[in-house]
Amino acid sequence: MRTLVFALSLAALITPAVAIETTSNWGAKCEALAAMPLEPNLTNIGINWDELAASAAIDACTAARSEDPSSVIVAFRLGRSLLSANRTSEALEHLLFASEAGYAPAATSYGMTYLFGDGVETNHQLALKWLTRAANLGDAVGQYNLAAMLQLGKGVAPDLDRAIKLYNQSAQQGFAPAQDNLGYMYMAGFGVRQDYNSAASWFSQSAEQGHIPAQIHLAELHLNGLGVDQDYSRANELFKLASDQGNVQGQLGLANSYRFGRGVQTDNEKALYWFQLAADQNNSTAQNAMGEFYELGIGTNANLEVAAAWYAKAAEQNNPYAQYNLARLVEIGTGVEQNSNRAYDLFLASAGQDVPEANYAIADMYWRGVGAPQNNLKARAWFKRAADRGNLDAVYMLGVTYAQATGSRQDFTTARHYYEIAADYGHSGAQQALLDLESSDFFTENGPLVIKELSMSR
């Protein structure tokens, strides 16, 4: 977050109550090496935070500060240079001097240092004090960070209405992160009336400045035709812009476009390429997709060992779908060593994150007594969890557990109830079970006919 704010620029700031200073030769060098982009009174475009050459900037700004100790602008730039070199205590002296003189960018930097605890102990009260002063002076970055504190309740009681006003003030000055945040609030209806048109407008303004999150958000609106025309090609253009900057969400967007033919011809090899880039950045969604591609031979030759390895990487990050997919392979020993107990643990972790199929798998293990002790009541409870989460096989198996119960626990009325639900949704096993219940052959001299297919495939 700190890098983001320092790297981006201020636009159309209200001029602070400091005099415009005539720069010396060292002052000009300090400006060239350390000025923040679009800082008031600039004669150049400024230097982004991640491009700041700290050593040279410190030398130039130190010399300029010696020539003109009263210059608040030079003091700010020297403080900024020192911050980039992690010389925080020295930086704060210069930033405080400029902040107390009313130079808004310095007040923002001083406040943010305490907000994020960069080289100092986090102090939300100091952050609040100086970011409030910067915001009141019209600093867009100060307004943005103060809004975030108010939104999240950092060192102050949450005040969403005031936060939105500050985001709007910052956004009106062209600060891209504020425009993106405001757009997201309109998109989600968070603190404002949901308005996709306003969301699209703010995302567009932010995206035009190269702000990656806004590019992704605008692409999502184009995918779904919300506030803008549905336009897969435009969405892919935006995903590509973000991807070219190494953004994982952009890479995932392009991968899915090639996988499902959204605005481009379906191309599984290109989909695999973009998933690979995202997976190499340790994105668990992409890693799970890589596992699926290698398991099924999509865009590449099938390789179950490679598939299992990708699933394992994603499962280590607690991705519930990868946990389920890896458990499937571990349970039967495909591409990985067979281990029923490990499969149970993986299914359980996935089920804990509400993957319906994982709940079904746990139920099936209890029903069959594989990987878990055979226990029909626990099986029924897990089938119920899976059914409640929309798994149709689990609805059918709930009927089976009541039909196949022994003694007084056998309940054909309840079994019929679940069979009818599953049958209404086209489940062939449930439809056959209902026919069996109606058949006189269902009962034999030894009791009810046993339904042979007790374990559905998963």
Q: Is the pLDDT of residue 12 over 90?
A: no
Residue with tokens 């407008």: 201
Query: Is the same domain home to 147 and 237?
Result: no
Residue that finishes a domain, picked among 275, 298, 330: 275
80 in any annotated domain: yes
305 in any annotated domain: no
Q: Is the pLDDT of residue 6 over 70?
A: no
pLDDT of residue 407: 59
Query: Is the same domain home to 253 and 212?
Result: yes
| CB distance 268 to 298 below 8 Å | yes
Query: Is the same domain home to 60 and 122?
Result: yes
pLDDT of residue 453: 40
Percent of the chain surpassing pLDDT 70: 90
Query: Is the same domain home to 165 and 86?
Result: yes
CA proximity to 422, closest of 402, 449, 395: 395
Q: pLDDT of 262-306, one tens digit each? A: 999 999 999 999 999 999 999 999 999 999 999 999 999 999 999
Query: Is the same domain home to 261 and 401?
Result: no
Percent of the chain surpassing pLDDT 90: 84
Q: Is the pLDDT of residue 178 over 60?
A: yes
DSSP 8-state code for residue 447? E
CB atoms within 10 A of CB 237: 14
341 in any annotated domain: no
Query: Is the same domain home to 111 and 196?
Result: no
Q: Which of 27-31, 238-242, 450-454 has the lowest mean pLDDT?
A: 450-454
50 in any annotated domain: yes
Residue that finishes a domain, picked among 125, 145, 174: 174
Supply the CATH number for residue 256's domain: 1.25.40.10
Query: Is the same domain home to 87 and 109?
Result: yes
Q: Is the pLDDT of residue 35 over 50?
A: yes
Q: pLDDT of 125-172, one tens digit each? A: 999 999 999 999 999 999 999 999 999 999 999 999 999 999 999 999
357 in any annotated domain: no
Q: Which of 109-123, 217-231, 333-347, 408-422 has the lowest mean pLDDT?
A: 408-422
Q: Is the pLDDT of residue 370 over 50?
A: yes
Query: Is the same domain home to 113 and 27?
Result: yes
Q: Is the pLDDT of residue 3 over 50?
A: no
Residue with tokens 């996709």: 196
Query: Is the same domain home to 160 and 202?
Result: no
94 in any annotated domain: yes
> In which band, very low, low, confident or very high, does the pLDDT at 1 lie, cut at 50, 70 and 90?
very low
Residue that finishes a domain, picked among 228, 249, 275: 275
Number of domains in the chain: 3
Cα(458)–Cα(455) distance, integer angstroms: 9
pTM: 0.83
Structural domain span for residue 402: 379-458
Query: Which residue did the predictor score with more confidence, 423 or 16?
Result: 423
342 in any annotated domain: no
Q: Is the pLDDT of residue 447 over 80?
A: no
pLDDT of residue 351: 96
Count how many Cα atoms sit within 13 Å of the Cα of residue 157 in the half-sphere of its side chain: 1
DSSP 8-state code for residue 13? P
Query: Is the same domain home to 50 and 135?
Result: yes
pLDDT of residue 444: 44
Query: Is the same domain home to 391 and 434?
Result: yes
Query: Is the same domain home to 149 and 215?
Result: no
322 in any annotated domain: no
Cα(52)–Cα(38) distance, integer angstroms: 15
